[in-house]
Amino acid sequence: MNHSGIEDVVAMKTMDEDSSGGAAALREARGRTMALLADLPDELLTVPYRENVNPLLWEAGHVGWFQEYWIARRFLGEAPLDPANDALYDSAKVAHADRWHLPLPGRSGTTAYLERTLERALAGLGRRPLGAGARYFHALALFHEDMHDEALLYTRQFLAYPPPAFARASGAPEQREGMVEPLLGDAEIPGGEMRLGAAPGDGFAFDNEKWGHRVTVAPFRIARSAVRAGEYRRFVEGGGYRRRELWSADGWAWRVAHGAEHPIYWRRGAHGWERRLFDRWVAVRDMEPVVHVCWHEAQAYCRWAGRRLPTEAEWEFAASMTPDGEKRRYPWGDQLPTSAHANLDQRRGDVIRAGELAAGESPWGCRQMIGNVWEWTAGAFEPYPGYVTDAYAEYSRPWFGTHKVLRGGAWTTRARLIRNTWRNFYLPHRADVAAGFRTCAAETEAT
């Protein structure tokens, strides 16, 4: 096993002190996984093959298998609960298409397996001192579960299932917090030297964030908010989806193959544009960020608007650097996210307006860089200089060069997971993710 990921987190706080958790966090994450399935009738747990989602019971079982594999088996050296589970749940060996035809246990069997794997993880946590290795593997399993819980939420949205009880939107925005002024214009950012990526003393980091390295960012202008639905609606109504010159070759091929004329979950209703939110249709609200658009759509919009997507370095600079050259963990500082800073943790059940949450603003006046919607960036997902694969070798390496990077998290993302250096990555055609984007002035570009 490559232990580079273990040895580099010696400075991480103990699991009980750190946002990544300990026993309470593991229990809470497992409760969230259970809640994502508990309210669905049995007939909704078995669905025909879908390209972009996993079978719900497979995804839940995989979460339990991953926790057992890395904590009980790899770290503690224990035998598997059932060796046959490797042929069911090992995502590195079970192809996506095959997951729909496996002899998976039903709801009760899956639930029992999740309970048993959690018990083993908690028992191991109690028997071993919380050294760097224990913290690493427990954090790995916890964050892996958080990511799959977000994917399960996407699946419920994709399949037009009702939202789980903990993620039910609380009504129209004007009923929640009153009127919010639009956040317009660009932030003028002078650029400069920056450490792009995570540092060894920052706590747990995935291998694709390692390690922070010096880059020089040229001056640039970046939008203070993500592109709003009203702005994107004008692109749709202006025929943007039918203008070949706005699209890359791959993007146009995607648009034609899918017959796309607007975002995946939009339709024209009797009173204007509507957006499907789980199992119901809501009005497209101009002041909310556009959500569920793929990288191809973001690129086409930018060409239409005479703008461009930010590079990763520009995005991280705008989110984390201060005018005096200090780097922050979050746009607002090093304080852990609260509901005043960011729309995270699935608590609001939907996006909020682009002008909300001033407490979460970056020093440059950019708002909601953490939470609300994931934000596409310009470049391909590539390793940082000196990249070394961590123990979980399949996490990053297979996807370099083919995926695009998103930053910042969304309302669907767990708060303990996200930070300014965190790199998400998806294929450029994926629109089921809770993704939007913000833009940069076209005449500025990082060096």
Tokens of residue 50, six digits: 């879908």
**pLDDT recorded at residue 179:** 61
The set of residues, in sequence order, having a beta carbon less than 8 Å from that of 214 and lying 6+ positions away, is 193, 194, 195, 196
Where residue 52 falls among pLDDT bands split at 50, 70, 90? confident
- Give the chain's domains with CATH numbers: 4-166 (1.20.120), 173-229+288-441 (3.90.1580.10)
pLDDT score of 204 more than 70: yes
The mean-pLDDT minimum among 102-111, 162-171, 194-203, 368-377 falls in 162-171
**pLDDT recorded at residue 167:** 87
pLDDT score of 225 more than 80: yes
- Asked if 344 and 153 touch (Cβ cutoff 8 Å), the reply is no
Where residue 129 falls among pLDDT bands split at 50, 70, 90? low
The set of residues, in sequence order, having a beta carbon less than 8 Å from that of 234 and lying 6+ positions away, is none
Report pLDDT digits (tens) over 78-105.
Answer: 999 999 999 999 999 999 999 999 999 9
Question: Considering only CA atoms, which of 162, 168, 144, 169 is closest in space to residue 30?
Answer: 144
**pLDDT recorded at residue 254:** 98
- Asked if 37 and 157 touch (Cβ cutoff 8 Å), the reply is no
Residue 424 carries which DSSP code?
E
Report pLDDT digits (tens) over 131-186.
Answer: 666 788 899 999 999 999 999 999 999 999 999 998 877 554 544 555 677 788 99
End-to-end Cα spacing for the chain: 37
